[in-house]
């Protein structure tokens, strides 16, 4: 027996290969199981983490997109409504403009027609006055009394009017005067007819429409002669027969008796 046999060896006793293999297998199995469990656990743990981190981001994006879409839809609707209102206003304005244009055209046509009718009447009146003036000039130059009545045949009110105006011949012409020492044209006529109880307007324009319009080819003593248009006459006188009239002519002539050919009148009115 060796002298060291009683000393316990410091080395660990050898284990059998089978024991080591078994333990290694067990350890490997345990490690494999742990690895699988770890992997499975990691996978299972990763999914909630992924959901916890990603879901809020996706939800916020979707909410923002939904809000933007809603805003865009609302804005588009507002734009459509505004455009519809503008289109309606434009259509209404166009309709009104069309109606105004039609009315303006109608008024213009009526005004044109009226102007043409007025021009036609004025032309006819001028032609008639020219014909009457020609007749008066011929009558005055020949002394014919075929179209006029002499003062000797005037009776009643006409004779009184004629007598009055003849008595004023030679008196002065003063604008606005009505006698007894001076007259203007309408003042003489008004005062003459006042002698027989007939009240005439004061001015020539109104006196030219005071009675019945008569033709210059059918004058009678006492008719009122006027120069200018009826209603806008600028001078009046009294027809005294035999192709003569008496009137307050102007400041230089005063009240005079003249033949119709001296200044042919435009028309005449009869109040007696």
Number of residues written out for the chain: 272
Q: What is the pLDDT of residue 128?
A: 58
For the segment 228-255, what is each residue's pLDDT rounded down to a tens digit? Answer: 999 999 999 999 999 999 999 999 999 9
Provide the pLDDT for residue 196. Answer: 96
pLDDT at 61: 74
The CATH number of the domain where 234 resides is what? Answer: 3.90.1720.10
Residues of the chain with pLDDT under 70: 1-60, 122-153
For residue 186 the two structure tokens come to 């309408």
What is d(CA 116, CA 106) in angstroms, rounded to the nearest whole number? Answer: 15
**Do 165 and 238 belong to one domain?**
yes
**Looking at the 3D structure of the chain, how many domains does it have?**
2
Q: 199-224 burial, b for 16+ CB within 10 Å, e for fewer?
A: ebeebbbebbbbbeebebbebbbbbb
> Residue 130: what pLDDT?
57
- 149 is written with which tokens? 């009545």
For residues 179 and 256, state if they share a domain. Answer: yes
Q: What are the tens digits of pLDDT across the range 56-95?
A: 555 667 777 777 888 888 888 888 888 888 888 888 888 8
Owning domain of residue 55 = 47-142
Q: What is the pLDDT of residue 270?
A: 97
Nearest alpha-carbon partner for 221 in 251, 244, 250, 248: 244
Q: Is residue 136 located within the same domain as residue 228?
A: no
- Does residue 181 sit in the same domain as residue 107? no
pLDDT at position 46 is 47
Does residue 85 sit in the same domain as residue 161?
no
CB 132, CB 217: distance < 8 Å:
yes
Q: Do 156 and 200 belong together in one domain?
A: yes
Residue 14, pLDDT score: 54
Last residue of a domain, one of 142, 159, 192: 142
């Amino acid at each position: 027996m060796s002298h060291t046999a009683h000393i316990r060896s410091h080395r660990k006793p050898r284990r059998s290969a089978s024991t080591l293999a078994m333990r290694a297998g067990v350890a490997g199995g345990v490690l494999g199981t742990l690895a699988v469990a770890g992997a499975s656990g990691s996978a299972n743990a990763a999914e909630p983490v992924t959901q916890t981190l990603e879901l809020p981001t996706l939800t916020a994006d979707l909410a923002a997109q939904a809000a933007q879409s809603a805003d865009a839809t609302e804005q588009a609707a507002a734009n459509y409504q505004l455009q519809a209102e503008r289109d309606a206003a434009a259509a209404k304005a166009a309709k009104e403009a069309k109606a105004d244009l039609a009315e303006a055209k109608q008024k213009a046509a009526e005004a044109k027609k009226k102007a043409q009718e007025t021009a036609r009447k004025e032309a006819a009146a001028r032609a008639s006055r020219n014909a009457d003036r020609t007749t008066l000039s011929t009558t005055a130059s020949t002394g014919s009394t075929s179209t006029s009545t002499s003062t000797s045949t005037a009776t009643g009110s006409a004779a009184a009017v004629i007598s009055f105006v003849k008595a004023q011949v030679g008196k002065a012409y003063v604008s606005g005067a009505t006698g007894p020492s001076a007259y203007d044209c309408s003042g003489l006529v008004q005062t003459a007819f006042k002698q027989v109880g007939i009240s005439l307007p004061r001015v020539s324009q109104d006196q030219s429409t005071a009675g019945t319009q008569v033709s210059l080819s059918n004058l009678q003593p006492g008719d009122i002669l006027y120069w200018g248009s009826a209603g806008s006459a600028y001078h009046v006188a009294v027809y005294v027969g035999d192709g003569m009239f008496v009137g307050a002519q102007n400041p230089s002539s005063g009240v005079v008796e003249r033949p119709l050919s001296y200044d042919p009148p435009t028309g005449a009115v009869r109040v007696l």
